[in-house]
Structure formats: C-alpha cells, structure tokens
Amino acid sequence: MAPLTLLRARDLSALGDEQRAAFAVLFLRLAAQTMNLFLVYFGFRCIALGYLVRRASFMPGLIGALLMLAGGGYLLNLWPPLVNAIAPYHLVLAAPGELSLVGWLLVRGVDNARWHTQLAAADRAMVPDS
C-alpha cells in the first residue's frame, strides 16, 4: 500500500515525480524482503509441524515428512538469488505437504480414538505416583 499511496499523493509537492517513483521502488523492494523473511519463519513452522505430525499416531507419518520437505523448500528463501533462479519450481517442494495436510484434515480428519488414547497416556505420564 505504501508505494501506491506515495505515487498517488498530491500533497507531497516537496518531492518530484522521480523521487516519488524512487521511494515507491524502495518500498516494493522492502515488501519483497519482508515476504522472504516471513517465508523463512513459515518454513521453520512447517518443519516443526511436520515433525509433530510424524511423531503422532493419529495422522499419517507421510504427511509429516512432506510438511518437513515443504519447510525445507521455504527455507530456500534464506538465499533469494537461489529462489529467483529456480522459481517457481521451488513450490513443487511445498505443494504436496501443505495440500496433503489440508486434504487429509478436510476429508478424513484426525483419528479420534487414537487421539484420546494418546491424551490419556500423556495424562498418566504427567501424574506422579503417590
């Protein structure tokens, strides 16, 4: 929004058209860098979620592995020249994991019986014997 606001502002008479255009390009570059940083954090989140799904017994471990692979694909944003060189093929790493998680949760859902079994086991492990 900042570049559009800057380019449309008529009350910035102190700035010429070239200066406003330069600031707009600067804001666009900052937005791209911010998005890359967000995707790196999202990659770490996908890896952590994939690890938890892989360890859980109420969802398929394959989905967890695919999510960890997706997280690795997002971590490629740590080096933007690499992502720019292989774009949009790096999304091939992300799509299977994320789509399989969403599809599984929409169609099949979580195995409720296994969920409650794991929850009860965790509760028993947390309560000390008296």
Domain holding 120, by residue range, is 2-126
pLDDT in tens, 11-38: 666 677 788 788 888 888 888 888 889 9
Where on the phi/psi map is residue 28: left (φ > 0), alpha (ψ -120 to 50), or beta? alpha
Collect all residues with Cβ–Cβ distance below 8 Å to 99 and sequence separation of at least 6.
none
Q: Residue 112: what are its φ and ψ, rounded to 5°? A: -65, -40
CB atoms within 10 A of CB 102: 11
pLDDT of residue 23: 80
- What is the number of structural domains in the chain? 1
73 pLDDT exceeds 80?
Answer: yes
Residue with more model confidence, 8 or 103 = 103
- Please give the DSSP secondary-structure letter assigned to residue 11: S
